[in-house]
C-alpha cells in the first residue's frame, strides 16, 4: 500500500488564535446545508480501500443534527479573516510551503532542493503561502473562489475560533459526503465516471509526470462540479479538507467512550476528500470512506478545510434546508 500524496512538516508551536473567547455567532457568511441527525453506516470493507488506514470495518454511527458549509473555505473568505485579525499563517511564519512541482514554471523548478525522498514531486517553495499559492509572483486575485490552500490544521482552527464555526469530525464529514446514500463509493454513487466524464477534480493522465493534455494539476473553483444529494460541493477531489480529529488506524474500531478529539500518540490530524493529485495508480483516497492525515503544522498546495456548526447556531448566509 502506497502512502498518501501529501508532505509533512515538523511539529511546531501553533500560531496565536485571534478572537478566542468572543461570542459564537458566525462572522463570515457560508452557504449552510443542514445535515439531519441519526444513524448512518460509516467506513468501508471495499477491496479497493486501505485497511491499514482504518477505513473499516463498516459500523453504525449516530450523530446529532448539524450544519456543514456547502463548499470548502475559499480564498475570499480566508482573506476576510486575515484582514479582520492580521493573522499570520504557519506557512508565512516558516517562510515556505510545499508546492507540487508542475504548478511551477520550468525555470523556477531548476535548483529547488527537493527534501522528500518518498515524495519527490513536492518542492519547498520560499514565499509560498495561502495568498501566493505558487510562491512569489503568484496571487489569489484570480482565484478568490478557489479553496484556500497552504493552511495548516492550526490555521484552520484559528479561522474557526474567530469565525464562530468549527471543523467537522470525521464522522460528520463522511456522513455529509455521502449525501444520504448508503455505502456508496463516491458522493454520487459507485461509478467514478457515470456519464463517461469525471465529476470531480482528480489527477488526469499518468501520475505524477504526464497530465492529460488540456488539464492542469491545480485546484478549481469550489462550485465547479455538481453537488451531492444534500447540496455539498467537491466532497471528493480538489483539495484535502482538515477534520477535527486526531487520526488513528483503529478509529473505526474504537468504542463510543473514546473521544477522537483528544490528543493521540500519532500526532497527526485527520484529512478527508483527497485532492487534485489523487489517482487510482497511487492514492485513490477520493472515495467517501478514505482517510488521510498529516501533522497539524503541515501546509501544501492541495490542502484546505471546510467548516461546520451545531444545529441551532446563529448563522450568516443561512440557507439550511435548501
Read off the pLDDT of each residue in 307-318 and give the average, rounded to a whole number. 75
Query: pLDDT tens digit string along 10-35?
Result: 555 566 655 544 444 578 889 999 99
Q: Work out the widest C-alpha separation in the chain, in whole angstroms.
A: 54
Asked if 194 contacts 205 with a C-beta cutoff of 8 angstroms, the reply is: no
Residue in this structure with the C-alpha cell 443561512, named with its chain if needed: 318
DSSP H or E run through 102:
none
Predicted pLDDT of residue 262: 61
Whole-prediction pTM value? 0.89
Element (H, E) at 160: helix 153-163
- Structural domains of the chain, with CATH: 32-310 (3.90.1580.10)
Give the residue from 4, 32, 2 showing the smallest Cα distance to 275.
4
The mean-pLDDT minimum among 58-62, 163-167, 258-262 falls in 258-262
Residue whose cell numbers read 458566525? 26
What is the number of other CB atoms lying within 10 angstroms of the CB of residue 165? 25
216 Cβ contact partners less than 8 Å away, ≥ 6 residues apart: none
pLDDT digits (tens, 9 = 90+) for 125-166: 999 999 999 999 999 999 999 999 999 999 999 999 999 999
pLDDT at 20: 45
Higher pLDDT, 79 or 49: 79
| Residue-wise pLDDT tens digits, 186-240 | 999 999 999 899 999 999 999 989 999 999 999 999 999 999 999 999 999 999 9
Look-up of cell digits 498518501: 4
Residue among 239, 241, 236 at smallest CA distance from 189: 236
Distance CA 63, CA 53 (A): 22
Q: What pLDDT does residue 21 have?
A: 41
Distance from C-alpha of 234 to C-alpha of 120, rounded to nearest angstrom:
27
- Residue (of 207, 206, 181) closest to 194 by Cα position: 181
Residue 78's pLDDT is 98
Amino acid at each position: 500500500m502506497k502512502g498518501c500524496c501529501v508532505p509533512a512538516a515538523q511539529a511546531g508551536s501553533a500560531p496565536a488564535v485571534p478572537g478566542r473567547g468572543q461570542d459564537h455567532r458566525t462572522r463570515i457568511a457560508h452557504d449552510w446545508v443542514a445535515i439531519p441527525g441519526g444513524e448512518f453506516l460509516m467506513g468501508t470493507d471495499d477491496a479497493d480501500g486501505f485497511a491499514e488506514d482504518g477505513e473499516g470495518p463498516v459500523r453504525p454511527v449516530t450523530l446529532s443534527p448539524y450544519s456543514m458549509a456547502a463548499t470548502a473555505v475559499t480564498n475570499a473568505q480566508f482573506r476576510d479573516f486575515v484582514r479582520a485579525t492580521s493573522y499570520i499563517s504557519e506557512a508565512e511564519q516558516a517562510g515556505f510551503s510545499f508546492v507540487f512541482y508542475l504548478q511551477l514554471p520550468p525555470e523556477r523548478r531548476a535548483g529547488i532542493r527537493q527534501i522528500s525522498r518518498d515524495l519527490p514531486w513536492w518542492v519547498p517553495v520560499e514565499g509560498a503561502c495561502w495568498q501566493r499559492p505558487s510562491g512569489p509572483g503568484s496571487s489569489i486575485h484570480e482565484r478568490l473562489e478557489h479553496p484556500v490552500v497552504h493552511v495548516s490544521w492550526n490555521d484552520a482552527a484559528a479561522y474557526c475560533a474567530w469565525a464562530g464555526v468549527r471543523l467537522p469530525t470525521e464522522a460528520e464529514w463522511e456522513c455529509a459526503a455521502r449525501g444520504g446514500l448508503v455505502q456508496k463509493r463516491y458522493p454520487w454513487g459507485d461509478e467514478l465516471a457515470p456519464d463517461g466524464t469525471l465529476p470531480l477534480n482528480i489527477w488526469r493522465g499518468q501520475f505524477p509526470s504526464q497530465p492529460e493534455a488540456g488539464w492542469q494539476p491545480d485546484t478549481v473553483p469550489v462550485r465547479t462540479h455538481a453537488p451531492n444529494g444534500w447540496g455539498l460541493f467537491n466532497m471528493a477531489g480538489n483539495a484535502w479538507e482538515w477534520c477535527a480529529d486526531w487520526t488513528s488506524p483503529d478509529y473505526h474500531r474504537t468504542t463510543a467512550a473514546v473521544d477522537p478529539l483528544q490528543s493521540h500518540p500519532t500526532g497527526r490530524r485527520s484529512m478527508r476528500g483527497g485532492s487534485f493529485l489523487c489517482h487510482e495508480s497511487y492514492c485513490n483516497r477520493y472515495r467517501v470512506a478514505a482517510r488521510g492525515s498529516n501533522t497539524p503544522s503541515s501546509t501544501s498546495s492541495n490542502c484546505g478545510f471546510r467548516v461546520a456548526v451545531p444545529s441551532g447556531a446563529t448563522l450568516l448566509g443561512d440557507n439550511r434546508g435548501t
